[in-house]
Amino acid sequence: NGVDFQLSNTFFGMPSGVYTMAVRDEIGCVVEEETEIATLDSPEIESFSTTLPSCGNNNGVIEVNLNGGTGTVLYSILGSNLQTSPVFQNLAPGVYNITVQDSLGCEASSTLTLAAQPPPQITGISTLPSCGPDNGMATITAVNGLTPYQFSLDGNIYQSSNVFSGLEPGDYDFVLMDASGCIAEGDFTITPSPGISVSGLQVAPTSCGEANGILVVFAGGGTGNLEFSLDGVDYQSSTQFNGLAGGAYTLTVQDELGCTVQQSVQIPASTAPAVEVVEAIPATCDEANGILEVQASLGTGPYSFSLNGSSFQEVGLFEDLNAATYQVTVQDAAGCTGTANVLIEDHGPPDVLSIDVIEPTCGNANGQINIDAEGIGPLQYAINESGFQPSNEFANLPTGTYSVMVLDANECLVEKTVIVLETISAPPTAIDMGTDTTVCPNDGFVLDATNPEATSYEWQNGGTVQALQVTEPGTYSVTWENVCGSTTSEEVTIGFIDCSCVIEKPSAFTPDGDGNNETFRILYQYCPLDDFHLYVFDRWGRIVFESLDPDQGWNGTDKGKDVPSDVYLWRMTYRQDGQFFQEHGELTLIR
């Protein structure tokens, strides 16, 4: 540090730090330079990784986990020869002093006790008896040793599972080997299970074709409690099965070990009586005359029959029935019943849908009656008890009252009354063509003489049209003729007037509420006023009224208030036949 100089160029025992190195010659010249002495970490034993000696062998392993140190580190155990590997092998159980030394001579040491690995030990053997030739089972449990374990029954073939299954009854030796190869041995015995025996079955057959059979099982043996099943899936503890349909079943009896025994069971089936319809005759003519005949099958005879819950009878014949659906019940000798619904159809009388009448005309026997009916065919038709016929048309009928009858295949009869009137015998009724009138020559006025009773028309000028256009003034007459040749006439006089355009502009009006001359408006006749526009001005030129409608007049108000009596100006513009017109004038308002 530039203070105490020495002849030697080496300094010992220096702590770490920054130093200024100075060199001085004989004449006192000095040169300096800084240098740093660093601190190097000493070796430190952080931990050990060990493998314990097992099976009574010197096969323990110690591995030193080191932190720090400089350069090559050497390892020693119990003061023996140094080695560069941190792993010491083939060690017996004991206490070991481990020493490490780095290249600077720094050392660290630690003591470790290496215990012996306990050998595997069998703690339990559980067995299940065999309920067959080869379905026994044994389970081995163990502790200590190094897992995973392996198990063998012959010392050659090993398995990882500790369960041996599919074993026949007998004595067995087994070997357990841990991960280090240490073994433990043991033995067990598989005993045969007491067999399950079905000593008897009690069967109650079904009755009346219902699922009401019963099976009671008598069984013993096996291990633990027994369970019973008829489908091999659903088991029950009860020995009785109820609500069984007739048929074949497989009974399975199972004990707590899963040992089973099976036996076939037959539940005798029964049948309920069934209703068979012999004949169902429809009810006809809206009467209670339907007939139903039935018989029975299956079940056990003799049988009795009931209709809609009535008392039972020995014969399956029911008469005088209305059209309806009936429930027939048959009962056999065992009291079992069967039912069926039977329809007695409704074959009612014919239905007359419509009767079309063509009235006789002109006093002739040329009327017609056409009947539209439906029912059980073939249908026959008659009028006034004239005898039935297959045709529904009757012709050449005079005016009168007729009784129309329709008869169906069941001889059901329906009767309707029809009145046939003569519709055309008098002359056709005259049509009113209006009173005498005057029209504008160019209005295209038409006289319409359409008459529903007429078959032909004749005008005074020989025309035969229904509607005649008036082309000149005069008296017009028309004659109607019907199918019978009868005629009726009518006439009307049409005059022509001058229909030239007339426009009048009043010069005064009195909107005083007396109901006379209350409104000022333009009066026009026989001419259209197109694009009409009317203005009314007061004496100062202000618009007090305006309208685009020639039929709208001014009532003498402005914005809802009466204007005073005075002289007002009006101006009107319009078009007529495409020509533009403009007019104006004075208007006196008097109150």
For 398-455, give the secondary structure using H, E and C. CCEEEEEEEECCCCCEEEEEEEECCCECCCCCCCCCCCCEEECCCCCCEEECCCCCCC
Question: Matching CATH topology for 121-190 and 196-267?
Answer: yes
Separation CA 155–CA 585 (nearest Å): 144
The matching CATH number, chosen from 1.10.620.20, 2.60.120.10, 3.10.620.30, 2.60.40.1080, for 274-347 is 2.60.40.1080
Q: Which CATH architecture has domain 502-589?
A: Sandwich (2.60)
Domain boundaries, the chain: 121-190, 196-267, 274-347, 351-420, 437-496, 502-589
Closest CA to 62 of 30, 100, 35: 100
For the chain, 591 residues long, give each residue's pLDDT as a single digit of tens.
Answer: 667 888 888 888 788 788 888 898 888 888 888 888 777 778 999 999 998 888 888 989 999 999 988 889 999 998 878 899 999 999 999 999 999 999 888 899 999 999 988 889 999 988 877 676 677 889 999 999 889 999 999 888 999 999 998 888 889 999 999 988 899 999 999 888 778 899 999 999 998 888 999 999 999 988 889 999 999 999 999 999 999 999 999 999 998 888 889 999 999 988 899 999 999 999 999 999 999 999 999 988 899 999 999 999 999 999 999 999 999 999 999 899 999 999 999 998 999 999 999 888 887 888 899 999 999 989 999 999 789 999 999 999 888 899 999 999 999 999 999 877 766 667 888 888 888 998 888 778 899 999 988 889 999 999 999 999 998 999 999 999 988 888 899 999 999 987 778 899 999 999 999 999 999 999 988 788 899 999 999 999 999 999 999 999 999 999 999 999 999 999 999 998 889 999 999 999 998
DSSP, collapsed to helix, strand or coil, labels residue 333 as coil
Q: Which CATH architecture has domain 196-267?
A: Sandwich (2.60)
> Which run of H or of E encompasses 62?
strand 60-67
Separation CA 219–CA 196 (nearest Å): 7
Closest CA to 280 of 311, 313, 326, 315: 326
CATH number for the domain whose boundaries are 351-420: 2.60.40.1080
Residue 162 bridge partners (DSSP):
none
In this structure, which topology does domain 121-190 adopt according to CATH? Immunoglobulin-like (2.60.40)
pTM tops 0.75: no
